[in-house]
Amino acid sequence: MGAKTKRKMKPEKTPAMSEGRASTAAQTQAHQRSVPDGEIAVVQPSAPQANAPTSRQLELMAAIQVLHRKLQIASAYNTAAPDHGRSSARIALLGVLEFLSVLFPDAPTLPLALQDLLQGLVDLDRGTTIPLLKASKGRGRSPNPLSDDLFRALVAAAMTSLMRNREISRELAARDIAGRLNKLGYRLGRLSHVKLEKWREKMMTESVLENLAVQRYQLALRLVKDMKPDEAATFLLQNLTALYPAEFPKKGTFK
């Protein structure tokens, strides 16, 4: 008898192997159909997703969120607080400085003016006033705080807007605006319509080049020039409440 030939055992096909081979064959056939005869197919690496943010974008997004949180905290600003709102101002300034450091990472230093202002606010709480925050020595009577004059500018602009209606006199416009201010929560006390008329007169007669409040007055009028008189006055007073909330004390404003 001749030598027995050993028969090689074929591995048993499993369903998973069959499916894998079928899938591979299908992919190969599809690829062959897509490549013309005689050409070599080059497999291109898959491109990154176009909408995926870069590391720099993620860094800026995180910085914006931090700035937003600090500004939200600083929105508790209240001049009636024992520190007159300096703590809120410091938080806002710190948030801006931190954001600038991320926005301009290659800058050698942060704006010195803002750093000095931040440190000056801290020194005020310690009883020290840096030169930056010292009042200038003027002649004669001290002027009104700028915030008071800017407040008056918007009130005067609202009054002027009402007077575009020819049926409303200066006195009626002043009385109307005074009544609206009271309804908005501004406790005007003895403030009469005559006082509002004087505010408006000042805005109309002083130089726009020398008085920031006059600039605010004229800018406000330009913004509402296409509105109806009553609509314009309402719009300006609504912005007044956003800039100067009624609960803030204005010791000099209504004198």
Residue 173 belongs to a domain: yes
Are both 238 and 165 inside the same structural domain?
yes
Domain-terminating residue out of 102, 129, 156: 129
Q: Are residues 154 and 188 in the same domain?
A: yes
Neighbours of 99 (CB within 10 A): 18
Q: Are 116 and 130 in contact (CB under 8 A)?
A: yes
What are the tokens at 99? 């954001």
Give yes or no: residues 203 and 234 share one domain.
Answer: yes
DSSP of 128-179, one letter per residue?
---GGGSPP--SSSPPPPHHHHHHHHHHHHHHHHHTTSTTS-HHHHHHHHHH
What pLDDT, on the 0 to 100 scale, is given for residue 12?
53
96 within a domain of the structure (yes/no)? yes
Instruction: Give domain status of residue 73, yes or no.
Output: yes
Give me the pLDDT at residue 16, please: 45
CA pair distance 183, 186, nearest whole angstrom: 7
Residue ending a domain, among 129, 164, 192, is 129
Residue 181 resides in a domain: yes
Domain count, the chain: 2
- Run means of pLDDT, 10 residues per run, the chain, 255 residues: 50 49 49 50 54 88 94 88 91 93 85 89 90 78 80 94 92 92 76 85 90 92 94 92 66 51
What does R_g of the chain's alpha carbons equal in angstroms?
36
Residue 188's pLDDT is what?
63
Could you tell me if 210 and 185 lie in one domain? Answer: yes
Based on the fold, state whether residues 157 and 238 are members of the same structural domain. yes
Q: What is the pLDDT of residue 139?
A: 63
Pick left, alpha or beta for residue 38 (phi over 0 → left; psi -120 to 50 → alpha; otherwise beta): left
The residue from 82, 104, 129 where one domain ends is 129
pTM of the complete model: 0.55
User: Do both 75 and 154 map to the same domain?
Assistant: no
Residues 118, 193 within the same domain: no
Tell me the torsion sign for CA atoms 201, 207, 213, 218: positive
Q: Is residue 116 part of a domain?
A: yes
> Is the residue at 60 inside a domain?
yes
Question: CA–CA separation, 190 vs 250, rounded Å?
Answer: 14
26 belongs to a structural domain: no
**Statement to judge: residues 152 and 122 lie in one domain:** no
Q: Are residues 79 and 158 in the same domain?
A: no
206 exposed, middle or buried (CB, 10 Å; 0-12, 13-18, 19+)? middle
Rounded distance between C-alpha atoms, residue 183 and residue 177, angstroms: 10
Does residue 250 fall inside a structural domain?
no
Quote the domain boundaries for residue 214.
Answer: 146-243
